[in-house]
Chain A
Amino acid sequence: MSKYYRNLVKKLEEEIKSRFICNDKVLRIIILNQLHTRATTLFRAPRGSGKSTLMLLLLKGIYGSDFVVISGASEVKRGEVLGRLHLPSLEKEGVERVVWAAFVKAEGKGLDEVNRLNPYTTANIYHMLQFGEVWAYGHRYRVEDYTLIANENPHDPTTFIHPPPFYDRFDICVYLRPLTLSEKFALQEILEKHRGELVESMPQVLSPEDLKEIRKEVEEIEVDLEIRGLINTIVRDLQVCIRNRDLAELKPLALCEGCHFIRDICSKIKEGPSERAGIVLTQLAKAKIWLEGSCTKDDIYDMLLWILPHRITLTKVKNIISDLKEIIEMEKVKMRDRESRRQWYILNELIKGFNRGLYNKAKEIALEDLVFAEELVHLEEKWIAEGLIKPEESIKYNLGIELM
């Protein structure tokens, strides 16, 4: 069955590709992200770049006409997002019954112009994404599996600034760009071929039942330990700060003044990603293994670019995508340095037992790598308690690392 489902997913991708022009790698990431439960995708692009078209193509390809789109550009009422009171029941029986909104009940959900949604609607959707349920008039509705695809142009006027935790609930955030000259010709050909009806001509390739089975299969895929190690190390690299920036009043770069790690990746990040970054990367890795048979380290770095833009705040932003690419390149160098220092081997030996020579080497490495230093501090606490080392010689004391 897997092969049959894989062919369906590839067909969905082909059908979209024949109607929409974008980078193949970007489209593949978008497709991969639909293969896990409660998938949420956000497109960001300037107006007229086709973000709404892509959203509709995806929803139509999976759910046919059985999906609901809420537009932030129009006046959205609570009853349209969550539910409304059933007035006859209230008048005749005095009972408050809720008629749940189609948006809540539909498995295929679309949010057009997210940044123009009013804060009340956003709060309700946030609750649904966070807890998988919605509340109205004291009644609760449990939301089952769904696919949520949203889009926005963050530079549009009349924009509401939504809180970062809301955006963090989106698995990936893909940036679309305007078409190049040759792509514009290709678009004209596509429009002629489909008589201007790109969305209307899109067939339903998958059924919700197919998607359910696919998501079940993807969930059961096991990710290689080395890839999991890479994912966790990358996410920690982007989170870690020796001065605990998450709890500090000052934020980088002011916080970084005089810091030993000022030239490291951490000084480029004001707010690091949440643990969801690691979870989503693992889900994408599973989907890639399911669809293509393998997932390499380079694939993880490619995916990282679309995991981060909406859940990381940089100290200086010129262009979020090129800035992130720069950080990812730095991350690759950092990983190579780790390999050449054989640091995980040394840590593994130190976990087995204390060795003075290896400990001295580990202390040198800790001055280069904060993630390694954190793990060494864990061991030092044990060794100090056992009297193997003195507190004042520890890396915890010398670097001032506080693990809470």
Chain B
Amino acid sequence: MSSNSFIKYLKSVAEKTDVIVEKNHIKWFNVEKTGRRVIGFLDMYYFDEKGDYIILNKSTAYDLKERLEFLEKSVAKYRKWLKILSLTCVFMLITIVLILVLR
């Protein structure tokens, strides 16, 4: 026990140890490695959490599917309206040009 280098060695190891001593108790925390972190989809969407893998439960997946289908249908409907309105605009433009020429 009297060796100075042994005491120095223990001190150097102790300094690198993350331990909390409270009166007669000693505790430490095993730090979780964040290399392969897994988070939920809603946490990622609403709380902007970062992770390597994102988990999606079945009900959220079906909600997403319905929402996507609704959006796809809306997109198709608006695309149809867009074509009709574009054709109307072209027809009206031609009509205006003809009226002006024939006057």
Report A's interface with B, CB cutoff 8 A: 225-226, 228-229, 342, 344-349, 351, 355-358, 361, 375, 378-379
Contacts and interface: CB of A to CB of B under 8 A. Distances in A.
B26 A348 contact: no
Interface in B1-41: 1, 5, 7-14, 17, 19, 21, 23-26, 28
User: Which of B8, B9, B10, B28 is packed against the most chain A CB atoms within 10 Å?
Assistant: B10
Contacts of A345: 13-14, 17, 19
Nearest to A375: B1
Q: Is the interface of A mostly helix, strand, loop or mixed?
A: helix
Contact of A347 (B10, B24, B26, B28): B10
Contacts of A348: 7, 10-11, 13-14
A226 B9 contact: yes
Interface of B: 1, 5, 7-14, 17, 19, 21, 23-26, 28
13 contacts: A226-B9, A228-B9, A229-B9, A229-B12, A342-B26, A344-B9, A344-B14, A348-B13, A351-B7, A357-B24, A358-B21, A378-B1, A379-B1
A204 B38 CA distance: 61
Contacts of A351: 1, 7, 10
A355 B25 CA distance: 9
| Ranked 9 nearest A-B pairs via Cβ | A357-B24, A348-B10, A348-B14, A345-B17, A229-B9, A344-B13, A345-B14, A378-B1, A342-B17
Nearest to A340: B30
B49 to A, nearest CB: 30
Contacts of A358: 21, 24, 26
A344 B8 CA distance: 11
Contacts of A344: 9-10, 13-14, 17
A379 B10 CA distance: 14
A378 B3 CA distance: 12
A351 B2 CA distance: 10
Contacts of A375: 1
Given A351-B7, A378-B1, A229 B24 contact: no
A375 B10 CA distance: 12
Contacts of B19: 342, 345
Contacts of A229: 9, 12-13
B28 A342 contact: yes
Given A346-B26, A361-B26, A379-B1, A225 B14 contact: no
Contact of B12 (A226, A347, A379): A226
A361 B27 CA distance: 11
Contacts of A342: 17, 19, 26, 28
A357 B1 CA distance: 21
Contacts of B24: 355-358
Nearest to A230: B9
A373 to B, nearest CB: 14
A361 B26 CA distance: 9
Contact of B23 (A357, A361, A379): A357
